[in-house]
Structure 1
Amino acid sequence: MIAPVASWNNYPRQVCTLHRPERYREFSPDVESAIARGLGRSYGDAALNDCGHVFLSERLNRISVFDPERGVLRAEAGVSLDDLLRVIVPRGWFLPVTPGTRFVSLGGAVASDVHGKNHHCDGSFGNYVNSIQLAIPGAGTIDCSPTANPETFWATVGGMGLTGFIGEVELHLRPISSAYVQARHYAATNLEELFRHFSDPDRDAPYTVAWIDCLSAGKRLGRGVLMAGHHAALDELPVEARAKPYDLPAGRALSVPVNLPAWVLNPTCVSLFNGAYFAAQARKRAPFIADYRSFFYPLDNISHWNRMYGTRGFVQYQCVIPQAGAFDAMRKLLERIASSRHASFLAVLKRMGPAGNGMLSFPMPGYTLALDLSLRDPDLFKLLDALDELVIQHGGRVYLAKDARLSAASFRRMYPRYEEWLTVKNKLDPQHRITSSLARRLDIGGAA
């Protein structure tokens, strides 16, 4: 079927030939130009292939092995993290690393080497993958792991789906005592205070993330709220929840029914929202209990929240800056954004731990900032180009899974292991049949 396709941010929108296989053996790369696509929750063109083939993996969603004694799971790449959580949480297990939405596929989590609120403690998703099954054009199916075909494994983890079609993934899980998190908030009046919260060992936790009001300026530049938490033990739960610690209350379904007009997210409206949100979250000074869905995936409670940005859509800009220059770079980034008046009510800051072994993986030790920016502003890309240069000057990089407009030249300055990755890619796929719109835009993988 030939149809227009877009990612979650509705930009860009491209025409692709779609295939929806029922079995992995039908997930064939024997075409001139193809990429796999999971649930379409990336924010750019990594799972698009303009005028080419896109293989949808959503029906390849079977769990083949789950060992509840050891916490080891093997499943097809198309299964969603939400489906996995529904199986493993009632049995006392959780994902070792999770991004900010549970509606992504297992294969997408591997291809993007996703990270979460615990990266400073536990690293990224690839650290917990035992093995990957990969379909290689003209070479059949191979298995790879950190010890068997390790070059293929680490080129695939974070490789944006460009080394082959991911089939099954084996993952080891994290034990938990309940489906709840004990959380605590720490308000900060400016960026300096927020960084002090992050570095304070008394406020550290396995999971930390900060919301930032990126429209605040002057003495309030970078004001925000650090949100810290850990998986709740039984004795931390309310008495009424201890008998059934893995049962969750029924959630209230909210939805954005239509695309909103562009003026809704103007700087004035977003500034008012940010002020109200800061006040509400800053009041939560005492520890409190939250179910895992509201703590890890707050936006998943609002169906179609991407419609808030209207038909033009939005872009997400996520960068990471090494530890040494992180505060100075983040201050400059926020000053640029605040002075430009590009409104973002979704702005988060996280602390990052050691870099993973993935050749194109995003994380590095330091801090990462993520912003959602509406495409209602015609000069937005000029601002983002300027932010790219600032990130490069400080030795950082942009996250490819969130990117829709980075230049090929900037990519090469940000990802020093690209040539190493390309060597593996050329061995696996010498005719470069596995390609995407991202690959062509960044001129990676030898794509024409």
Structure 2
Amino acid sequence: MEGWGRYPRHDSEVMDCRLPEKLSESVASRAGLIARGNGRSYGDAAIGERSTLMCSGLNRMTSFHSIDRSLTVEAGVLLSDVLRAFVPRGYFPPVVPGTKFVTIGGMVASDVHGKNHHRDGGFGDHVSELKLVVAGGEILTCSRTSNPELFFATVGGMGMTGIIAEATFALRSIESGWIAQRTIATENLGDALKALQQTEGATYSVAWIDCLSQGASLGRSLIFAGEHATLDQVGGMPEADRFSVRNAAKISLPFDLPQWALNRTSIAAFNELYFRAGTRKSAQTSLVHWDKYFFPLDGILEWNRLYGRRGFLQHQCVVPARDALPVLSGILERFARSGKGSFLAVLKKLGASSGMLSFPMPGYTLALDLPVTQGVFRLLDEIDELVVKAGGRLYLAKDARQSRHTFEAGYPRLNAFKELRKVTGADRHFESRLAMRLGI
């Protein structure tokens, strides 16, 4: 088995579960188990040390209440299914990550964040109740008032407290399925951080960074600030177009690209064209379909094949705002010097989080994709040192190789999480490769 980054790989017994009532039986019959949704965590978080329980078959939406907009779904429901069902009805999820091909259970377990974390927090902040299958097979209701410690350990807990069977969360009302986007072009990282600070009043805000620019242009960026477009902004658009759900992606990579295809020259050329195109749009507000704004990479199926059969790593860190400029500058300088550029480099402003192992903290997060090549691990170890020294941490849902030292330095509530795992018996029952690697 492997994650979306296709690194690392590990043998694991695979079990399938399609009925909620069978979850308890599956849990009680195995140890060394972890749940797996649609396999979109990048590293080894959804690979069981001994057994992996496939939960994508638990894909039913069970109730929706229009008064408080609360939706209850089984954990294997895909975010794309929620969008397809509810955008035409004028509703949108409160938080979405960079792909819609994730399960709701995975979104809870990773406490995913989106382009609106600076205002609205992570997905877990909008979950009101969970059904959790714990060690031994008992099903517990968890919320902020019922089993609260287990609730906050499960949000962001990467499946290590039990199997999420069901989740209830609130949708937001929208007047259209379009995003009114304003683009700001900045010439360096310092200006990009200022622009993100200035656009924190926007519901959505994210920056694309040219990670190969150097010198005075280090970290030049395009900041995309967005709001759900109002009726006035979509004008006389027919309702079918106002809430349209686009067809599934028709472009797919049928084979792995050779590693030489993504090199410094090709990435630099892409970055230059992309920056120029964004700069031309910076003087105006444009309407962008929600699918393109939130999930641009979903337009290419199996895009992870861009990096070749050896796979790729995503390094996503968050550092406190006070040290963001020198630390992120140091990271980008090392990337630029190494020539290991990433055509996808994303910068966002984050707020606080409530999950015991949730990734977000007040500050800035930078995500970079890198093919698995000789020397990449040493480079990332050097960057981890900068992050740890600044009091930052790495995102577990993206991680495939950080050291225990880096992990333990970044998560101050780790000991409390381990103790809860011990008390509930989860430490003897739920075990992913990530948990083994990091000693959770």
Secondary structure of the corresponding residue to residue 205 of structure 2: strand
Is the Cα–Cα contact under 8 Å of residues 249 and 298 in structure 2 kept in the other structure? no
Classify 1:184/1:13 alpha carbon distance in 2 versus 1 (closer, same or farther; 3 Å).
same
Letter in 1 for 2:387: V
Aligned partner of 2:266 in structure 1 is: 269
Paired residue for 1:438, among 427, 434, 440? 434
Return the alpha-carbon distance in structure 1 between the equivalents of residues 358 and 240 of structure 2. 41
Return the alpha-carbon distance in structure 1 between the equivalents of residues 426 and 213 of structure 2. 50
Return the alpha-carbon distance in structure 1 between the equivalents of residues 431 and 277 of structure 2. 45
Aligned partner of 1:121 in structure 2 is: 119
5 Å matches for 1:9-24? 9-24=5-20
Return the alpha-carbon distance in structure 1 between the equivalents of residues 248 and 139 of structure 2. 41
- Is residue 2:99 matched to residue 1:110? no
Return the alpha-carbon distance in structure 2 between the equivalents of residues 86 and 240 of structure 1. 19
Is the Cα–Cα contact under 8 Å of residues 324 and 364 in structure 2 kept in the other structure? yes
Unaligned runs of 5+ in 2: none
Classify 1:136/1:250 alpha carbon distance in 2 versus 1 (closer, same or farther; 3 Å).
closer
Give the alignment's TM-score, normalised by structure 1: 0.95
Aligned-pair distance for 1:139? 5.2
Return the alpha-carbon distance in structure 2 between the equivalents of residues 239 and 233 of structure 1. 12
| Deviation string, structure 1 residues 12-31 (Cα, Å, up to 9, x no partner) | 11111111112022222121
Is the Cα–Cα contact under 8 Å of residues 209 and 219 in structure 2 kept in the other structure? yes
Aligned-pair distance for 1:427? 1.6
| Deviation string, structure 1 residues 357-406 (Cα, Å, up to 9, x no partner) | 1000000011000001011x211011111111100100100000000001
Is the Cα–Cα contact under 8 Å of residues 421 and 427 in structure 2 kept in the other structure? no
- Is residue 2:420 matched to residue 1:421? no
Is the Cα–Cα contact under 8 Å of residues 35 and 48 in structure 2 kept in the other structure? no
Secondary structure of the corresponding residue to residue 209 of structure 1: strand
Return the alpha-carbon distance in structure 2 between the equivalents of residues 265 and 247 of structure 1. 34
Is the Cα–Cα contact under 8 Å of residues 234 and 242 in structure 1 kept in the other structure? no
Paired residue for 2:406, among 404, 407, 410? 410
Return the alpha-carbon distance in structure 1 between the equivalents of residues 248 and 231 of structure 2. 22
Paired residue for 1:381, among 377, 386, 389? 377
Letter in 1 for 2:410: M
Aligned-pair distance for 1:36? 0.2
Aligned-pair distance for 1:40? 0.3
Classify 1:188/1:415 alpha carbon distance in 2 versus 1 (closer, same or farther; 3 Å).
same
Aligned partner of 1:356 in structure 2 is: 353
More displaced stretch, 192-201 vs 357-366: 192-201
* Identity fraction in percent: 46
Is the Cα–Cα contact under 8 Å of residues 160 and 426 in structure 2 kept in the other structure? no
Letter in 2 for 1:53: S
Letter in 2 for 1:319: C
More displaced stretch, 416-425 vs 203-212: 203-212
Return the alpha-carbon distance in structure 2 between the equivalents of residues 288 and 186 of structure 1. 12
Aligned partner of 2:80 in structure 1 is: 82
Is the Cα–Cα contact under 8 Å of residues 161 and 426 in structure 2 kept in the other structure? no
Aligned partner of 1:308 in structure 2 is: 306
5 Å matches for 1:229-240? 229-240=226-237
Is the Cα–Cα contact under 8 Å of residues 146 and 153 in structure 1 kept in the other structure? yes
5 Å matches for 1:248-263? 248=245, 250=247, 253-263=250-260
Letter in 2 for 1:307: R
Aligned-pair distance for 1:250? 4.9
More displaced stretch, 31-40 vs 84-93: 84-93
Is the Cα–Cα contact under 8 Å of residues 93 and 173 in structure 1 kept in the other structure? yes
Is the Cα–Cα contact under 8 Å of residues 215 and 338 in structure 1 kept in the other structure? yes
Is the Cα–Cα contact under 8 Å of residues 343 and 374 in structure 1 kept in the other structure? no
Classify 1:431/1:291 alpha carbon distance in 2 versus 1 (closer, same or farther; 3 Å).
closer
More displaced stretch, 282-291 vs 121-130: 282-291
Return the alpha-carbon distance in structure 2 between the equivalents of residues 243 and 10 of structure 1. 39
Aligned-pair distance for 1:248? 4.0
Letter in 1 for 2:297: L
Aligned partner of 1:41 in structure 2 is: 40
Aligned partner of 2:31 in structure 1 is: 32
Return the alpha-carbon distance in structure 2 between the equivalents of residues 309 and 243 of structure 1. 38
Return the alpha-carbon distance in structure 1 between the equivalents of residues 105 and 377 of structure 2. 30
Is the Cα–Cα contact under 8 Å of residues 7 and 41 in structure 1 kept in the other structure? yes
- Is residue 2:179 matched to residue 1:181? yes
Is the Cα–Cα contact under 8 Å of residues 216 and 223 in structure 1 kept in the other structure? yes
Return the alpha-carbon distance in structure 2 between the equivalents of residues 12 and 127 of structure 1. 31
Letter in 2 for 1:18: V
Classify 1:407/1:296 alpha carbon distance in 2 versus 1 (closer, same or farther; 3 Å).
same
- Is residue 2:54 matched to residue 1:73? no
Is the Cα–Cα contact under 8 Å of residues 356 and 414 in structure 2 kept in the other structure? yes
Aligned-pair distance for 1:417? 0.4
Letter in 1 for 2:221: G
Letter in 1 for 2:58: L
Return the alpha-carbon distance in structure 2 between the equivalents of residues 388 and 11 of structure 1. 19
Is the Cα–Cα contact under 8 Å of residues 208 and 347 in structure 2 kept in the other structure? yes
Classify 1:62/1:242 alpha carbon distance in 2 versus 1 (closer, same or farther; 3 Å).
closer
5 Å matches for 1:143-154? 143-154=141-152
Is the Cα–Cα contact under 8 Å of residues 344 and 373 in structure 1 kept in the other structure? yes
Return the alpha-carbon distance in structure 1 between the equivalents of residues 242 and 218 of structure 2. 41
Aligned partner of 1:331 in structure 2 is: 329
Unaligned runs of 5+ in 1: none
